[in-house]
């Protein structure tokens, strides 16, 4: 086996299945022939076996790496609703496959895949109840206990349509909003007591007791691009500084500093309900796209968190569909427009 062959193998960081099979074939066949020839005429050189083992190890490592990022689960695609194949491919590149199952007498929980950005993590999971149980409520959620290196977690659940509402299985997306990214961390996750509710204003009640506890890596590749703004502005007439804007396909996060946060929050007057489980966004943003279109976060979805000790306001905006973050021209926040440059 020549040095050229070896270099080509090391350069194939993410080989396709066919390429990997061909690579193994190309490695093994000449080596087997050469090994037979050496047994006949010359002593075996141990260095070749060491080299072959190293190459095989690289191939196995790249195989495992490729398996961890092998595309976006179909359920995640339905949940995120990417605009086109290009955006689907982009999201797939950051999704991390977990495939971890924990079960007890009350049911089994499978953590399937995770994606995330600077402040938002989505965890796709399936729950299967014992046979003869029907899980067909409009809404489901678990009580949660989470341990990461973050001191604050805001969580929520959304039930996905799996095409069979009258069986014993449901698919859920759990969202976790944090002050900074969970990418690369290990999460200790405990879910307990599956609760169900009718459509709003239905009230959640426990339908399956029990607890499911596991730990896994959040090795997703975060999609966010951070823009350092550091510009003065006014919020409800009070001075503030927009420090950063973090943009990704799944959320936009603004960090604001102000010595008048208490007055600003009083002026915002809390969440105003404008429908069943719908609230007015007190800190709306308008996304202006390069093609002249725009959208405004009139309805609040996400998180707004004020820290009066540090004078910081963090607000995370989520959207019904993922946004095309590569086509944003500017973001308008109260009295100013902030350019988003590629």
- For residues 231 and 213, membership in a common domain is answered with no
- For residues 303 and 244, membership in a common domain is answered with yes
- For residues 241 and 116, membership in a common domain is answered with no
- For residues 281 and 185, membership in a common domain is answered with no
- Structure confidence by residue, pLDDT tens digits, 269-325: 877 888 888 899 999 999 999 999 999 999 999 999 999 999 999 999 999 889 999
Tell which wins on pLDDT, 53 or 264: 264
**Which CATH number does the domain housing residue 206 bear?**
2.60.40.1630
| Cβ-based neighbour number of residue 229 at 10 Å | 19
* Lowest mean pLDDT across 15-24, 125-134, 175-184, 214-223: 15-24
- Rounded to an integer, the average pLDDT of 202-223 is 96
Domain boundary among the residues 201, 218, 235 is at: 218
Q: Print the domain residue range for 122.
A: 74-218
pLDDT computed for residue 48 by the predictor: 52
Domain boundary among the residues 181, 197, 218 is at: 218
- For residues 301 and 325, membership in a common domain is answered with yes
| Total domains, the chain | 2
- For residues 117 and 184, membership in a common domain is answered with yes
Is residue 76 exposed (0-12), middle (13-18) or buried (19+ Cβ within 10 Å)?
buried
User: Which structure tokens are listed for 39?
Assistant: 């047994």
CA–CA separation, 115 and 96 (whole Å): 6
Q: Which residues pair with 196 in a beta bridge?
A: 140, 205
CA–CA separation, 314 and 97 (whole Å): 29
Q: Which helix (H) or strand (E) holds 317?
A: strand 312-317
- Rounded to an integer, the average pLDDT of 220-243 is 96
- For residues 134 and 265, membership in a common domain is answered with no
User: Do the domain assignments include residue 141?
Assistant: yes
User: Do the domain assignments include residue 105?
Assistant: yes
User: Do the domain assignments include residue 62?
Assistant: no
Contacts for 162-165 with beta carbons within 8 Å, 24 or more apart? 162/75, 165/136
- For residues 230 and 203, membership in a common domain is answered with no
- For residues 256 and 212, membership in a common domain is answered with no
User: Do the domain assignments include residue 15?
Assistant: no
In 3D space, the residue among 267, 297, 292 whose CA is nearest the CA of residue 281 turns out to be 297
Mean pLDDT of the chain: 85
- Structure confidence by residue, pLDDT tens digits, 148-161: 999 999 999 999 99
CA–CA separation, 292 and 329 (whole Å): 9
Domain boundary among the residues 175, 195, 218 is at: 218
- For residues 240 and 298, membership in a common domain is answered with yes
- For residues 207 and 272, membership in a common domain is answered with no
- For residues 245 and 184, membership in a common domain is answered with no
Residue 129, C-beta contacts closer than 8 angstroms, at least 6 positions apart: 106, 107, 135, 168, 169, 194, 208
User: Do the domain assignments include residue 250?
Assistant: yes
Using the predicted structure, report yes or no on whether residue 26 has a pLDDT greater than 80.
no
User: Which structure tokens are listed for 59?
Assistant: 């191939």
């Amino acid at each position: 086996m020549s040095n050229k062959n070896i270099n080509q193998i090391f350069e194939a960081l993410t080989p396709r299945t066919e390429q990997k099979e061909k690579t193994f074939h190309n490695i093994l066949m000449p080596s087997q022939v050469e090994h037979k020839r050496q047994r006949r005429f010359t002593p075996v050189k141990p260095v070749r076996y060491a080299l072959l083992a190293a190459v095989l190890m690289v191939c196995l490592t790249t195989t495992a790496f490729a398996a961890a990022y092998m595309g976006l689960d179909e359920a995640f695609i339905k949940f995120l609703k990417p605009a086109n194949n290009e955006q689907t491919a982009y999201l797939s590149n950051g999704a991390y496959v977990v495939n971890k199952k924990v079960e007890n007498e009350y049911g089994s929980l499978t953590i399937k895949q995770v994606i995330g950005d600077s402040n938002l993590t989505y965890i796709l999971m399936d729950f299967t109840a014992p046979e003869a149980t029907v899980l067909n409520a409009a809404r489901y959620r678990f009580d949660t206990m989470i341990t990461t290196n973050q001191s604050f977690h805001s969580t929520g659940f959304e039930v996905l349509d799996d095409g069979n509402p009258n069986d014993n299985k449901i698919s859920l997306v759990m969202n976790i909003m944090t002050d900074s990214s969970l990418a690369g961390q290990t999460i200790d996750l405990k879910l307990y007591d599956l609760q169900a509710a009718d459509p709003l204003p239905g009230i959640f009640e426990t339908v399956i007791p029990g607890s499911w506890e596991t730990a896994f890596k959040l090795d997703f590749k975060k999609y966010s691009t951070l823009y350092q703004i550091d510009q003065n502005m006014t919020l409800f007439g009070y001075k503030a500084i927009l420090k950063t804007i973090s943009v990704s396909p799944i959320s936009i996060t603004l960090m604001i500093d102000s010595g008048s946060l208490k007055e600003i929050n009083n002026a915002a007057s809390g969440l105003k309900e404008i429908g069943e489980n719908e609230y007015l966004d007190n800190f709306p943003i308008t996304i202006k796209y390069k093609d002249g279109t725009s959208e405004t976060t009139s309805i609040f979805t996400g998180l707004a968190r004020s820290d009066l000790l540090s004078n910081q306001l963090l607000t995370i905006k989520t959207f019904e569909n993922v946004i095309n973050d590569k086509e944003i021209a500017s973001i308008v926040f109260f009295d100013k427009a902030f350019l988003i440059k590629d």
